[in-house]
Amino acid sequence: MNKETILIVDDEEDILELLRYNLAAEGYDIICAESGETALELAENRKPDLIVLDLMLPGIDGLDVTRLLRKNEKTLHIPIIMLTAKGTESDVVTGLELGADDYVTKPFSPRILNARVRAVLRRTEAAEETEGEKIQVGELCIDPGRRRVEIEGKNADLSYTEFQILLFLTRRPGWVFTRSQIVDAVRGTDYPVTDRSVDVQIVGLRKKMKHCGSYIETVRGVGYRFREGA
């Protein structure tokens, strides 16, 4: 079985070495970059399975790197974990809206970072394998092909937009999505989906899901996620 390759991007040599050492000890192949420009080149040429990206970089910063990676068809689907020293809501929200998959704030615990890396890689693999299959979570069953949702075997009458939001969240359990990301993914036809209306849709969706509505969690200051291991 091939080992996953992780690209680490950080301009601080001690942080870079700490990340390299800990992730290599977990069995990953590691490549490193100390600038955004180098990171973009390595990402396109080496096709890593995941990128750990510091936001505070000289020249092209982490947010611009994320933006450019998501615009390039060759790097579009590479998962990204952001590292941010600021830890502010605006940094996190901006990064997630640009297409990052998760974030860790500095100073960080290597054990926590390792766990986040494993989780993102696991979710990415699971999402690729189950894209067209039924999703069964406890008493909740989602059939994408028939566009049908059942709770305890009974049909839940969801609107187009509610169904799209639920499907979008359940395909990436544990991932945090901003309201803007949900808007971009859904683009409902029966309701003018906006950042504000996402909250309204979530309220209605939770009601129709009854006790399963608790699977959709609010992440304060960021957005929503479908509870991992629900």
Domains and CATH numbers, the chain: 5-129 (3.40.50.2300), 135-226 (1.10.10.10)
Residue whose token pair is 């069995």: 27
Summarised one tens digit per residue, pLDDT across range 126-160 is: 655 555 678 899 999 998 877 789 999 998 988 76
Q: Is the pTM of this model over 0.75?
A: no
Residue 178, pLDDT > 70, answer: yes
Q: Within 13 A of 84's CA, how many CA atoms are on the CB side?
A: 20
Better-scored residue on pLDDT, 9 or 180 = 9
Quick check: 9 and 53 in contact, CB under 8 A?
Answer: yes
Mean per-residue pLDDT over the chain, rounded: 86
Got the DSSP string for the chain? -PPPEEEEE-S-HHHHHHHHHHHHHTT-EEEEESSHHHHHHHHHHH--SEEEEES--SSS-HHHHHHHHHHSTTTTT--EEEEESS--HHHHHHHHHHT--EEEESS--HHHHHHHHHHHHHHHHHHHHSTTS-EEETTEEEETTTTEEEETTEE----HHHHHHHHHHHTSTT--EEHHHHHHHH--SSS---HHHHHHHHHHHHHHTGGGGGGEEEETTTEEEEPTT-
- In this structure, how many other beta carbons lie within 10 angstroms of the beta carbon of residue 88? 12
Band (189; pLDDT cuts 50, 70, 90):
very low
Q: Across the strands, what pairs with 224?
A: 177, 218
Summarised one tens digit per residue, pLDDT across range 60-92 is: 999 999 989 988 888 888 889 998 876 566 777
**High-pLDDT (> 90) share of the chain, %:** 47
Residue 8, pLDDT > 90, answer: yes
pLDDT at 128: 57
Mean pLDDT of all residues in 112-138:
78
